[in-house]
């Protein structure tokens, strides 16, 4: 009831109008509304949102580039390390072989030295032996002389005939000569 | 023959007097000075123009308010994190769609200047269209005055963009394709000038007609129940009306897209005249 009354009021209050009627007031309001909406959204929405989106896209781009760079760096470091490692290994091998060579040389040298020393010792020992021999022989000679003198003394005391004496002395001398 | 005609007129008159008047469809579609259909709006006249805040003006304001609230919230959510969730994320999808699928390919270089305008147009039309689908709501974009205003704004933005890029004379000289024989120039000039004017006209009529047609069909289908005065037609009417309603959701999206797309295309053509 109320509704039909309203409809009546509308149709009588203003001409009902057609679909294609243009109302200037509505155009004015549309333009005003739209321009205000555009300005407000531009300030409060589009500017911050679009700049945030751009910033995010830039950040993603940067991150990707940084990751790419980091990967390249890491690869370079790995390659460097490997090269260094190979160099170090080479060096170690060289050092080991040098050490071996040196120790070989040292061994030979030491062997030769010790041999020479031994020879020297042997020589010295033989000289000493010779000397000791000579000494012992000399001592013996002295002793023999003493003994001979004593013996001759005894003999002289026991029988002092000329003939006997003579042969004894001669024999004695002969024996000496023999020795 | 004559008697036939009079009979038809008689029967028409009988139908109207019998309360089977179909003007109620138009009543629902046309703008009214009763906000939401019940609150009378004070009449304002200024310089002889009827500036009364009509129902459609109120619904445009509702749309503007919704957009302002939603997008301020979205903008604020970017302050917290660059990867927002929820509503902001959804709106971001739409914004990126407008930017990457509509504006960038059609305008190309220098699209940033026109992006705020085209975003506003897209979301404003979309919101107005959807508000018309809410029961009790009115579709401001099914009013030729509203769509014509939007089309004229699009026209002004297009011409301003073209003139700013190519210079005043350069722009109008560029309208006529090069290599046209001299005697054709006057005709081409007129044709191209008319072409400029038909573009906003087509924009306005397309949006208006699409948004109006769906509503009329829904009202007509539901009206069948009252015109035929039988409940048996109700299930069929409601099923078809529901189908059209679904279609209207699609149309709301498509028309907002098309208006933005074509505006963007015209701007692109005006700015880059060489291709």
For chain A, domain boundaries: 27-178
Chain A nearest CA to B146, separation (Å): 6
Residues 6+ apart with CB under 8 A from A156: A165
Residues of B in contact with A19 (CB under 8 A): 26, 29-30, 144, 212
| CA nearest to B125 within chain A | A34
- In this prediction, the answer to ipTM > 0.85 reads no
Query: Is a pLDDT exceeding 50 seen at residue A10?
Result: no
Instruction: Give mean pLDDT, residues A7-35.
Output: 66
Q: Which pLDDT score is estimated for B275?
A: 56
Chain B nearest CA to A15, separation (Å): 11
| CA nearest to B61 within chain A | A33
Question: What is the pLDDT confidence band of residue A162, given thresholds at 50, 70 and 90?
Answer: confident
Task: Give me the residue label for tokens 């005006």.
Answer: B270
Beta bridge partners, B39, equal B35
CB atoms within 10 A of CB B180: 13
Query: For chain A, what percent of residues have pLDDT higher than 70?
Result: 88
Cα–Cα dist B100/B241, whole Å? 35
Query: Is a pLDDT exceeding 80 seen at residue A147?
Result: yes
Cα–Cα dist B247/B240, whole Å? 10
Which of these ranges, B165-174, B202-211, B235-244, has the smallest mean pLDDT?
B165-174
Cα–Cα dist A78/B211, whole Å? 66
Smallest Cβ–Cβ distance between A6 and the set B29, B34, B120 belongs to B34
CB B103 within 8 A of CB B264: yes
Question: What is the pLDDT confidence band of residue B104, given thresholds at 50, 70 and 90?
Answer: confident
Nearest residue to B143 (alpha-carbon basis) of B73, B207, B237: B207
Instruction: Report pLDDT digits (tens) over B199-232.
Output: 889 888 888 888 888 888 888 888 888 878 778 8
Instruction: Report pLDDT digits (tens) over A59-115.
Output: 899 999 999 999 999 999 999 999 999 999 999 999 999 999 999 999 999 999 999
Residue with the larger pLDDT of the pair B4 and A136: A136
To test the contact with chain B by mutation, choose from A47, A49, A56 the residue with the greatest count of B C-beta atoms within 10 A, namely A49
Residues of A in contact with B99 (CB under 8 A): 50, 53
The full set of domain ranges for chain B reads 24-271
Question: What is the pLDDT confidence band of residue B19, given thresholds at 50, 70 and 90?
Answer: very low
Query: For chain B, what percent of residues have pLDDT higher than 70?
Result: 90
CB B241 within 8 A of CB B247: no
Smallest Cβ–Cβ distance between A38 and the set B74, B116, B143 belongs to B116
Q: Which pLDDT score is estimated for A17?
A: 60
Q: Which pLDDT score is estimated for A4?
A: 42
């Amino acid at each position: 009831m109320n509704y039909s009354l309203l409809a009546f009021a509308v149709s009588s209050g203003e001409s009902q109008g057609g679909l294609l009627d243009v109302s200037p007031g509505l155009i004015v309001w549309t333009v005003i509304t739209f321009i205000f909406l555009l300005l407000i959204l531009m300030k409060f929405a589009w500017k911050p949102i679009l700049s945030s989106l751009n910033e995010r896209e830039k950040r993603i781009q940067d991150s990707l580039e940084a990751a790419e760079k980091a990967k390249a760096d890491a690869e370079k470091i790995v390659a460097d390390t490997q090269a260094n490692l190979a160099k170090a290994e080479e060096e170690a091998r060289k050092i080991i072989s040098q050490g071996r060579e040196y120790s070989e040389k040292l061994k030979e040298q030491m062997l030769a030295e010790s041999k020479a020393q031994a020879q020297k010792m042997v020589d010295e020992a033989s000289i000493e032996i010779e000397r000791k021999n000579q000494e012992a022989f000399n001592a013996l000679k002295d002793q023999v002389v003493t003994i001979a003198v004593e013996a001759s003394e005894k003999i002289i005391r026991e029988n002092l005939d000329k003939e006997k004496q003579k042969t004894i002395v001669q024999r004695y001398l002969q024996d000496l000569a023999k020795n | 023959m004559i008697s036939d005609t009079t009979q038809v007129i008689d029967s028409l008159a009988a139908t109207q007097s019998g309360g089977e008047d179909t003007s109620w469809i138009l009543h629902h579609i046309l703008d009214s000075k009763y906000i939401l259909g019940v609150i009378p709006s004070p009449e304002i006249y200024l310089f002889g123009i009827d500036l009364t805040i009509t129902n459609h003006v109120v619904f445009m304001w509702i749309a503007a308010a919704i957009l302002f609230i939603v997008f301020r919230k979205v903008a604020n959510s970017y302050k917290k994190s660059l990867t927002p969730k929820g509503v902001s994320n959804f709106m971001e999808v739409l914004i990126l769609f407008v930017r990457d699928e509509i504006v960038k390919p059609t305008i190309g270089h220098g699209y940033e200047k026109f992006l705020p305008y085209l975003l506003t147009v897209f979301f404003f039309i979309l919101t107005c269209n959807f508000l018309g689908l809410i029961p009790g709501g009115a579709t401001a974009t099914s009013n030729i005055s509203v769509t014509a205003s939007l089309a004229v704004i699009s026209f002004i933005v297009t011409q301003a963009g073209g003139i700013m890029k190519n210079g005043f004379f350069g722009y109008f000289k560029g309208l006529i394709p090069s290599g046209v024989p001299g005697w054709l120039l006057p005709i081409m000039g007129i044709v191209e000038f008319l072409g400029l004017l038909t573009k906003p006209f087509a924009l306005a009529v397309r949006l208006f007609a699409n948004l109006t047609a769906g509503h009329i069909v829904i009202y007509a289908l539901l009206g069948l129940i009252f015109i035929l005065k039988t409940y048996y037609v109700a299930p069929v009417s409601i099923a078809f009306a529901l189908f059209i309603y679904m279609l209207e959701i699609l149309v709301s999206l498509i028309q907002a897209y098309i208006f933005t797309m074509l505006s963007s295309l015209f701007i692109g053509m005006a700015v880059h005249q060489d291709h």
